[in-house]
Amino acid sequence: MTDLNRRQFLNTAAIGAAAAAAGGLAHAAPAPASICALPAKWEETYELVVVGSGGAGLATAVMAAQKGVKKILVLEKMGYIGGNTAISGGGFNSYDPPRQKAQNIQDSPENHAKNTMQGGDNRANPELVRTMTENSYAAVQWLESMGMKFKPDVYQIYGGLFPRCHAPFGSLGSDYIKVLKAQCDQLGIEIRRNSRVTRVIRETPLTGDVLGVEYEDAKKVKHAIRATKSTVIAAGGFGANAKMRALYDPRMLNLTTTNHTGATGDLIPLLQDIGAATTGMDFIQCNPGCPPGRKHRVIMHLIVKNFIMVDMQGKRFVAEDERRDVIRDAILSLPKQTAFSLIDQNGFDETNPGHQKGIEKGFETGDAWKADTIEELAKKINVEPAVLRKTIDDFNAGVDAQKDALGKAPGQLRKIERAPFYAAYAGMSVHHTMGGIVINTKTQVIDRRGEIIPKLHAVGEITGGIHGTNRLGGNAICDIFTFGRLTGMYVAEGI
């Protein structure tokens, strides 16, 4: 047996033994020898290799470059950059002393952490949560220093539980990507599209440093890239992977998704192959989106004070400021697992331009409707006009009394009264996967024995432990930019 074959044999045996010892992995098959083999040749060498060009990946790369890392490569498997960040609503939760003081809102990192822990049933890692909430405002300021613009007031986003959400001034989450891409260009950060990572390469499968990655280009040719400082995995979650979703929660198999098509969790098993631990993989969040069989998602629910939800009979069934998992389960329990979101012209005016265009497209696709009266709107959505009229009248009376029948908080009550009126389908779509790779507060990846995997970081939705069972609205953007900024700093420091 040659030295190389002997090493591969021993390494493969080590993976099989570790799998048998780990809880729930007793029946895992031994890893193929290709996982264990070092490349015959490193084609290129960079100080930092980042996998994924969404908000987390670009933030990491930009901050690392700003802190002195000289040679950085971002690998993106899709033909476009931005990931889920680019198509998100872009709401960024953070305490913000100037904005919140001007609105008479009392907030703090501690309050944000408390909301996050309680909103996730205290299943999040408290240290990760504190790290996020204590550093979030610095991330807001950092983004603003590069040209990111937010609206002057914070608001309570859908499922956010508190008014601390920052709305991009322009349109959607794509605003962040435009700002960061411009920084990448200025700083000489290379972004390689159509580059699907097929292996994360470690000295041995379960020990030693991570050395770099192997990726496959558009022509299916594989390339080995060395990373001398760190490899950072920011490849997103698995919301668009129905098979993987159903592996952890069978209810998720046939649902639509709000995610871009590349959010398939490809890097999670690759990291597991080199020993990375995972947590909370069955914590999967849904948001109002396309009902089964529909294709166009209309978003009218992001600003809690502006919308109500009604079932197919035209009656409210849940407080709209509830946790996202509460609203998910309420909609999934409806006979057709479908509801309607309703706003008036005030709500439409405060919807960001990108989502306004989505509503208008919904008029064409049959997913949204507009009418001058509530009764006319009821007819368009095939609801009894008298029932919907009573629902609106009762809700508005509750606004006047500052006491909502379903318990919506007084600060989130606003009348549905200014014509024209709008409605859109609100089914349930898979939105966010809270589970993923285990990290510490420095975003270093942790293995199945609780040890750090050297020279490997993970950031963004691919990670687990930050949100617990349920992510607060606005906390995903907070997560990716807060930890992305910190990761770039850690890499520059050699951590």
Task: Report how far Cα 399 is from the mean position of its chain's Cα atoms.
Answer: 33
Three-state SS at 410: helix
**How big is the CA angle at 483 (ends 51 and 82), to the nearest 5 degrees?**
45
Between helix 126-145 and helix 475-492 the angle, nearest 10°, is: 80
Which residues, other chains included, contact 82 with Cβ-Cβ below 8 Å and sequence gap of 6+? Answer: 53, 54, 55, 173, 174, 177
Task: Report how far Cα 390 is from the mean position of its chain's Cα atoms.
Answer: 37
Cα distance between residue 391 and residue 367, in whole Å: 21
Number of residues assigned to the chain = 495
Q: Positive or negative CA dihedral for 125, 129, 135, 136? A: positive
Element (H, E) at 166: strand 165-166
Three-state SS at 433: strand
Query: Helix (H) and strand (E) counts for the chain?
Result: 16, 19
Cα distance between residue 94 and residue 117, in whole Å: 15
Q: Give the sheet arrangement for strand 436-438, strand by strand.
A: 278-279, 436-438, 463-464
Which one-letter DSSP state was computed for residue 305?
G
Strand partners, 479: none
Q: Positive or negative CA dihedral for 479, 480, 485, 486? A: positive
Q: Give me the catalytic one of 164, 316, 324, 471.
A: 324
**Nearest Cα to 151, choosing from 104, 99, 198?**
99
Three-state SS at 388: helix
Rg of the chain over all Cα atoms, to the nearest angstrom? 24
Residue 166, both tokens = 């920052």
389 assigned to active site: no
Q: Positive or negative CA dihedral for 437, 438, 439, 444? A: negative
Q: Provide the CB-side half-sphere exposure for 278 (13 A, CA).
A: 24
Q: Positive or negative CA dihedral for 471, 125, 469, 267? A: positive
Residue ranges of E strands in 17-99: 44-51, 72-75, 92-93
**What are the C-alpha distances in Å from 398 to residues 205, 207, 240, 322, 413?**
61, 62, 39, 17, 8
Which residues, other chains included, contact 21 with Cβ-Cβ below 8 Å and sequence gap of 6+? Answer: none
Query: Could you tell me if 177 and 56 are in contact, meaning their C-beta atoms sit under 8 angstroms apart?
Result: no
- Residues with a known catalytic role: 324
